Structure 1
Amino acid sequence: MAVRLPRPHRFDVGAALAGLLGGLLLWGVGLGTRPADDPIVLLDGRWPVLLPLAVTAGCEALRRVRPRTALLVGVGALALDTVTRGNLVTVVMFTDLVYAAVVYGPPATARRIPWITGLLTVAATVVPVAVRRVPEALLAGVVTGLVALMPAATGWIVRNHRETAEAARLRAEQTALLAEMDRAQAVTAERARMARELHDMVANHLSAIAIHSTAALSLDDPETSRQALGVIRENSVDGLAEMRRLIGILRNSTGGDPEPAPAPTLDGLGALVAGARANGLDVTLDAPAMRVPAPVGLAAYRIVQESLTNALKHAAPGPVAVALAQRDGVLDVRVTSSYGRRDDDPRAPGSGTGLVGMRERAALLGGSFAAGPDGARWTVRAAFPLTEGDLA
């Protein structure tokens, strides 16, 4: 299977062609980096200069796709150029190969090249001075620094800046992603809260309306129909008031002017039980006066409200007991009703989300919730931990 070589970058191909043409121009006019009588020139004549020039230009085209290979081959081409009359463009292209190997090469290569070129620069400075003992020997170190160390150092700086910028971009993307996730979770939580509030506020009144309207339609008794219509009207008015309260909360949360009505508390349990009695339930309330945190009071009120609604729709005729007690830093809420009905169908349809909403309310406040049959009774129990510092 043939190995497909990577395609050179368009800019690198253009740079290679420009370098080759520039080198040919200098070669054509006879400009070299060393005179013909220089002792280091082993390959005299004009033609040997072209081979390292062509090889370096080819390496320049691979500076991004094969930076290490291009640098290694470029080192050999530069060594060959050193023993000829030389071409300035070959040296310039080699410095770019050093730079590209640091910028585009693997991380290990990018770390090693500055150290290697630094050591070569020190050696090119110290050794000639120690051997020749003349100031002109320092020029070898200067040339090595310009050709090798400076491009490597520049490439290291550029690479660090690029990696820093890339890391900052990734952090920004991660921050935006986390912010979007937090926003989506906040929207989901708010929708769930609104769904619980809407269900708990309206279900009780609509259930009573459905039950009494069914009774009014099924019984041919003017007095019974009149009483049923009275209950229907009362629950309609109360349900409308609760809906207005919810709308007021929503408007206030979006910057509206209307002031929402206060959320219900345990002080409103008496009126809640009175409304349940008007709807036909035999309810007893055992709830001594107590001080609890506002969120706990609202959750306990909603659980009692939903439990009475379920008793109205599903429970068999019989007493319903509501009891609240505060002991050992815990508010205990218990609602019991008769278990089972004489027929299989509830007197009003249910959404199936009542128990889910009550369990969510308890969990949000770190409490517990349980509902189920207990002998001949259906028991709903919730327990909320209380904090003295949060008592209202």
Structure 2
Amino acid sequence: MYVDARLACSNGEVSHAPAERRHRDLDVRGPLLMAAVGAVLIQIDLVDIWSNAWRGPGNRWWHAAPLLLLCLLMAWRRRRPLTCLALGMLVFLAESALGGSVGSLLVVIEIVYAAGLHGRGRLADRLDAVVAAAVVLAGLGVWWSTADLRAGVLAALTAFGVFGTSYWWGSSTRRQVELTEAERQRALDLAHLAELREAEARRSEREQMARDLHDALSGSLSAIAIHAEAGLQHESAQREALQVVRATSREAMGELQTMLGLLRPDVHPTVSPGLGDLTTVIEQARARGVTVHADVSPDPVPRLPSAVSQGLHRVLQEALHNVGRHSPSRSADLRLHVTDRVDLQVRSDGEAARPPGGAGSTGLGLGTMQERVTALGGRFDAGPDGDGWSVRAVIPLEPEAAEPTAEPTAEPTGRSDR
């Protein structure tokens, strides 16, 4: 039957209507098909179904007039569902008082279903109570007119089965539509949040790569530039300058290979250097012509959390690079004390203030160091210190973070020239 087909079709199609607006507000094909079905039902005399006592005009085709009026209302059921329901019920009740027809009943069922599906607003929210009241009134009306209680109960059950079920079906479909739309919107929101997180992760990764590239290569390239320039200006220093350039170039290549290994998924990444490589950092600074006086306590350096050890290694490396770039004395005092916190300080002599720039200077060093220390929950200070310049990083440790086991490559002893 057409009504059952339409209900199933609406149940399938309307689930996407709120989001994609696939349905037109005005339906033409459905009402035309219902008018044709109703005409066939009138032709086979499926009219005067409610009462044999009251009859309309003798010609059964007078039922075509209310049928066509109901089909016209059906065409607007999506745009004005409640209005079409109210007018349709008036037409249907008037025709039913004169016998009624099956064709009009089928159209009214579709209008009731559409009211449950498309109805919105306060009245639509109370429409279930209206339908329930109408079912009760239908039973009471038949009981009053026939004085037969069984006829009244049967009329109420018939009204509920025809109209109540149609409205329940429509309202259930509407709730499913709204739930589907809410889930679809939730999925879109989650996808948007995932895109934002991915973009933030990419941005953080780029910033981390920029910091690592700066820390790993800027100091070495600056040292190469400084010694190359010195070699060009003083022939007597060319051999020493070339030796420094060669050593520093090898150091930079090693750092670059380590970083490329971290970026390539097919290569087993090497562990980033930490404060256990303190001696190596000092020796590299000496190779660039920087004199380092170290005060390490305790000696050897305790095992530290990897993030703290690696972060402070980069800070120390950059601080010594800056001494080589900017300090006239090219001499640095290194102090590293580990208690319930790690206190790292690098002080250069003969530098009243940090120069704004120089050969190979990028201007990113202090900012990068501060970002690293702050990310580890520590405090970073850099500025003039008497007649020199001081860089200090203090990072608190958990009570169990600093263990007495020494890192295997840490070799610095007490304060001494390195």
Q: TM-score range by the shorter chain?
A: 0.7 to 0.9
State the 1:151 CA deviation: 0.6
Amino acid of the structure 2 residue aligned with 1:164? L
In the alignment, which residue of structure 1 is the partner of 2:259? 246
Are residues 1:277 and 2:277 paired? no
**Count of residues in correspondence between the two structures:** 377
In the alignment, which residue of structure 1 is the partner of 2:374? 363
Are residues 1:237 and 2:250 paired? yes
In the alignment, which residue of structure 2 is the partner of 1:112? 126
In the alignment, which residue of structure 1 is the partner of 2:116? 102
SS of 1:32 mapped into structure 2: coil
Pair 247,343 (structure 1): closer, same or farther in 2 beyond 3 Å: closer
In the alignment, which residue of structure 1 is the partner of 2:169? 154
For each residue in 1:207-227, what CA deviation from the matched residue of structure 2 results, as whole angstroms up to 9, or x when unmatched?
Answer: 111111111111122xx1001
For each residue in 1:242-290, what CA deviation from the matched residue of structure 2 results, as whole angstroms up to 9, or x when unmatched?
Answer: 1111122222xx2x2x433332121212221222122122322222223
Pairing 1:184-203 to 2, within 5 Å after superposition: 184-203=199-218
Q: TM-score, normalised by structure 2?
A: 0.82
Q: TM-score, normalised by structure 1?
A: 0.87
In the alignment, which residue of structure 2 is the partner of 1:333? 344
Pair 135,291 (structure 1): closer, same or farther in 2 beyond 3 Å: same
In the alignment, which residue of structure 1 is the partner of 2:241? 228
State the 1:198 CA deviation: 1.7
Are residues 1:260 and 2:260 paired? no
Report if aligned partners of 2:247, 2:287 keep a CA contact under 8 Å in 1. Answer: no
Distance 1:179 1:38 in 2: 69
For each residue in 1:43-97, what CA deviation from the matched residue of structure 2 results, as whole angstroms up to 9, or x when unmatched?
Answer: 6654653332222111111111221221122122212222233222211111111
In the alignment, which residue of structure 2 is the partner of 1:39? 53
Name stretches of at least 5 consecutive residues in structure 2 with no aligned partner: 1-22, 404-418
Report if aligned partners of 2:380, 2:394 keep a CA contact under 8 Å in 1. Answer: yes
Match of 1:62 among 63, 71, 76: 76
In the alignment, which residue of structure 2 is the partner of 1:324? 336
Match of 1:210 among 202, 211, 225: 225
Distance 2:353 2:232 in 1: 21
Pair 343,265 (structure 1): closer, same or farther in 2 beyond 3 Å: closer
Report if aligned partners of 2:261, 2:270 keep a CA contact under 8 Å in 1. Answer: yes
For each residue in 1:162-218, what CA deviation from the matched residue of structure 2 results, as whole angstroms up to 9, or x when unmatched?
Answer: 222222222222222222222222222222222222211112211111111111111
SS of 2:395 mapped into structure 1: strand
Greater displacement, 373-382 / 97-106: 373-382
Greater displacement, 14-23 / 227-236: 14-23
Distance 2:57 2:328 in 1: 113
Match of 2:36 among 2, 5, 21: 21
In the alignment, which residue of structure 2 is the partner of 1:308? 320
Pair 107,388 (structure 1): closer, same or farther in 2 beyond 3 Å: farther
Match of 2:234 among 219, 223, 233: 219
SS of 1:64 mapped into structure 2: coil
Pair 126,87 (structure 1): closer, same or farther in 2 beyond 3 Å: closer
SS of 1:388 mapped into structure 2: coil
Distance 1:30 1:344 in 2: 102
State the 1:371 CA deviation: 1.8
Amino acid of the structure 1 residue aligned with 2:167? A
State the 1:128 CA deviation: 4.2
Pair 345,300 (structure 1): closer, same or farther in 2 beyond 3 Å: closer
Amino acid of the structure 2 residue aligned with 1:115? A
For each residue in 1:124-176, what CA deviation from the matched residue of structure 2 results, as whole angstroms up to 9, or x when unmatched?
Answer: 33564577244233331123113320111111221122222222222222222
Distance 1:210 1:242 in 2: 18
SS of 1:158 mapped into structure 2: helix
Amino acid of the structure 1 residue aligned with 2:332? V
Greater displacement, 75-84 / 25-34: 25-34
Pairing 1:368-383 to 2, within 5 Å after superposition: 368-383=379-394
Pairing 1:45-84 to 2, within 5 Å after superposition: 46=60, 48-84=62-98
Q: Structure 1 vs Structure 2: percent identity of aligned residues?
A: 31
- Please report the RMSD computed on the Cα atoms of aligned residues, expressed in angstroms: 2.7
